[in-house]
Amino acid sequence: MVKPDPIFNREIFRFFKDLSRHNKKTWMDANRERYQVSVVRPFRRLLEETAPAVLELDGRFDTAARNGQNFSRINRDIRFAKDKTPYRPQMYLKYAVPFADGETGELYTGISAKAVTAGFRVYSGSKYKNSTLAVFAYPRCIADAKWAAKQKKRLGRKYESYWYSAERKEWKEQVGWPMTAEDWKRLRAWIVRVKMTPAAATRGDFARELARVFRDVYPLLQFTCLPD
């Protein structure tokens, strides 16, 4: 059997490392072609190779390869940010089932200069009451108090979980799994992920490994974010 060609090589990590050191428009303008070759094109190939497995989970996933929908933007919005560097030294591939009323969850993988992560994440956004966390996750977890414990038992040895609570209009990180009704009442974001080595992204089976991760965490997205 012929081994598949790797999607990424070490250049993507070197690019993000260099971008972290030289985070200016002049540097980025001089390295646009390098960015396209080492980051943009491989990420689009990654979408092509993982989309079939994602659509097998649910045919409603958005796989249209649109910036902002499937790929994070490298340009940073610095209008109200403390960090005024213009670019994010990382890239994410994201899959979500469209939700018209507000924020919803995603299956994702991200690559930065030193890290590769993959898993599930959901944020409430600025309008919690319109998010899937309020519409689906909270009432379902109240109705099935043992659901989170079952997921922790199923995934807890391999995947790390952390979430953010609302504390006096500020978000506070909480380590572990949201377990109680009070946890779910305060929850404004939840991430369940696995950390991989940079070498994992440069192997030919990276897309297949991501497909397995997405299958593992899909029940979290299904329960907390999908209408049925």
Asked, for residue 4, whether it belongs to a domain, the answer is no
Asked, for residue 142, whether it belongs to a domain, the answer is yes
Q: What is the arithmetic mean of pLDDT over 186-212?
A: 96
Q: What is the arithmetic mean of pLDDT over 188-208?
A: 96
pLDDT of residue 126: 83
Beta carbons of 215 and 57 less than 8 angstroms apart? yes
**Number of domains comprising the chain:** 1
Task: Kindly report the average pLDDT of the chain as a whole number.
Answer: 93
pLDDT of residue 168: 77
Asked, for residue 5, whether it belongs to a domain, the answer is no
What residue numbers bound the domain in which 35 lies? 11-225
pLDDT tens-digit readout, 56-72: 999 999 998 876 789 99
Beta carbons of 67 and 91 less than 8 angstroms apart? no
In angstroms, the first-to-last Cα distance of the chain is 40
Q: What is the arithmetic mean of pLDDT over 7-17?
A: 97
Asked, for residue 2, whether it belongs to a domain, the answer is no
pLDDT tens-digit readout, 115-153: 999 999 999 988 899 999 999 999 999 999 999 999 999
pLDDT of residue 67: 67
Of residues 92, 82, 91, 75, the one with CA closest to residue 24:
75
Asked, for residue 58, whether it belongs to a domain, the answer is yes
Asked, for residue 3, whether it belongs to a domain, the answer is no
pLDDT of residue 2: 57
pLDDT of residue 69: 86
Does the pLDDT of residue 14 top 80, yes or no? yes
Q: What is the arithmetic mean of pLDDT over 28-42?
A: 97
CATH code, domain with 136: 3.30.930.20
pLDDT of residue 170: 83
Asked, for residue 115, whether it belongs to a domain, the answer is yes
Beta carbons of 89 and 19 less than 8 angstroms apart? yes
Asked, for residue 128, whether it belongs to a domain, the answer is yes
pLDDT tens-digit readout, 96-116: 998 987 889 999 999 999 999
